[in-house]
A and B are shown apart, each in its own frame.
Chain A
Amino acid sequence: MNKNASIRKAGEVTIIELKGKITIGAGDLQMREAIHAALAEGARKLVVDMSQVVTIDSSGVGELVGCFTTATHKGAKMKLMNLPAKISDVLTVTQLITVFDVYPNEAEAIASFSA
């Protein structure tokens, strides 16, 4: 548990809730720690809730990509939900929006694991 990231369960799905700035030297590392901790505890269905993220920089984006790759290598699926417009824009200009599975809300994100 840390200031910028917290973990909760929704059935079999692990929700990583991010908050504030996911930027170099602070939120980026806390996000990585939270996602790696969930993976270490056996989580294989992860959804990252971005609704409370106010900004993300290239370091945060890089960590997000790194966590996605780590999750995939461990046989887990990591998806994103509730992207604020500015966060979506940041992922769009680098074409990463096509890499991640992105959902508009928690219900659809959770349902996607059963599809």
Chain B
Amino acid sequence: MPAAAPGPIVLWLSSRYENIELAQAALAHVCRLRGIDAEMEHWIGMAMREAVANAVKHGNRLDPDKRVLVRLESAGDDLTIVIGDEGGGFDPERISDPLAPENQLKTSGRGIFYIRTFMDDVTFSRGEGGGTVLTMRKDLSKRGDAKGEKP
């Protein structure tokens, strides 16, 4: 059973790639408090980094005046991460399959695939003020399946 859960951590970051490290530091703090091992932290971190990078690049289009919401909350066996942006929103159904042969050598289009691979539940919604809100959950009880790779 994971250690005691900290309360939610909420960050508002300006849209700069270097701020991904702040989100990573917050995740490391939560993982340390919950006793999450380095293996699982690595894959959760990769999913979160992809989500923040998407919010900065595709959501807020690198506008430093627009903010990225990072919210981490862990309760019971779950770790939930919410990433929000202030962009124009996007349709996740329009993301192409990076495993399709015609996409294999493309230089982009793998981020959301990685998020879905390494987390247990991933949903997209529209933020109250517009933009995209990505909510992803990791089941911390799956210690032997940290990578969460689908067969």
Q: What residues on B are CB-neighbors of A63 within 8 Å?
A: 107
Q: What residues on B are CB-neighbors of A24 within 8 Å?
A: 17, 20, 53, 57
Which chain B residue has the least Cβ–Cβ distance from A25?
A: B17
Interface size in chain B (residues, C-beta < 8 A): 25
Q: Are A62 and B106 in contact (CB under 8 A)?
A: yes
Q: What residues on A are CB-neighbors of B109 within 8 Å?
A: 62
Q: Are A99 and B105 in contact (CB under 8 A)?
A: yes
B99 at the interface (CB under 8 A from A): yes
A2 at the interface (CB under 8 A from B): no
Assess A90 versus B107: contact at CB under 8 Å? Given A24-B17, A25-B18, A58-B50: no
Interface size class of A (residues with CB under 8 A): 20 to 34
Assess A93 versus B107: contact at CB under 8 Å? Given A55-B46, A59-B53: no
Q: Mark B104-138, 1 if CB is under 8 A from A, else 0.
A: 11111111011001000000000000000000000
Q: Are A58 and B104 in contact (CB under 8 A)?
A: no
B71 at the interface (CB under 8 A from A): no
A residues bordering B, Cβ < 8 Å? Answer: 23-26, 55, 57-59, 61-63, 65-66, 68-69, 86, 89-90, 93-96, 99
